[in-house]
Amino acid sequence: MFERFSRSWRLVGQCWDLLVDDKALLVFPVMSTAVTAIVAVSFALPVWAIVHAAHALAVPGMHRGTGFVGLVVFYLIMYSIGTFFNTALAAVALKRFDGIPASVGDGLAIAWQRLPSIVGYCLVAATVGALLRMIEERVDLIGRIIAGIFGVTFSIATMLVVPILAREALGPLEAISESVQLMKKSWGENLIGNAGISFVTSIFTVGIVLTGFILTVMAFAGGHVALGFLLAVLSVLCVTVSLLVSSTLHTIYTSALYRFARGEDGGRYFERDLLGSAFSARR
């Protein structure tokens, strides 16, 4: 167990080295966040109008059916946007691991080529997500627990779908199947590393929020209004950067585990036998 933790943290550190060398990777989560926000705002009003109209017509079952369809469509759009940009990020990261120069444009081009598979996978994920949410809203506590367990299991099983789509020309179901197979080799490192990234980010973010809040309150209390506003803005910017770094590291780390689960060598950024021997033993 200690060896697994050690391997995972060493891999996280080497993923950080890649991000330090290629800070342009942060562009992908920025674009994803911006596009998601724009689409969410533009999507909210027409969906509300459709659901409201269905409710007003009072046709038996129509309101529920329309609500489910709207939920699936919304999830599909949101999943597709996030998966598209994560696939682009993973494509660049995988090339960089191999020592191949790759730009933001290269990543976007690869994600565009994989768009049918991305949308197909997201349709599966969106349907599962919508069904689980409807179950949680309509069943008792036991049903919610079961739905929650199934949701977590599905999320873990599909963790490697993004780097698979970035590297291989597979259909959505094939990508999910391969992710399941590879996760059998790397689930421990995947959970440990990703949980570690989230933990460190959370601690850092909480520290920023508390420090920013205290300094901002002190500035306003001392009559330094302009300084107070400046500190508040800086705190928000620091938290945003922290979250973007965390999101980017998650995708880089998952891409690295995909390489090792497939038995590839360490590449440019990783120690040759860091995880390869561990995964080889589990083939």
**Per residue in 44-102, pLDDT tens?**
666 666 656 655 555 544 445 555 666 677 778 888 999 999 999 999 999 888 888 88
- Please name which of 1, 3, 6, 8 lies closest in space to residue 186, comparing C-alpha atoms: 8
The span from the CA of 120 to the CA of 131, in Å, is: 17
pLDDT at 276 over 80: no
Question: Is 11:275 a contact under the CB 8 Å cutoff?
Answer: yes
CA 63 to mean position of chain CA atoms: 32
Question: Is 216:232 a contact under the CB 8 Å cutoff?
Answer: yes
Question: Where residue 182 falls among pLDDT bands split at 50, 70, 90?
Answer: confident
Look at the block and give the residue holding tokens 């590297």.
167
- Please name which of 32, 11, 47, 55 lies closest in space to residue 259, comparing C-alpha atoms: 11
User: Residue 282: its pLDDT value, please?
Assistant: 43
CA 119 to mean position of chain CA atoms: 16
Question: Is 32:81 a contact under the CB 8 Å cutoff?
Answer: yes
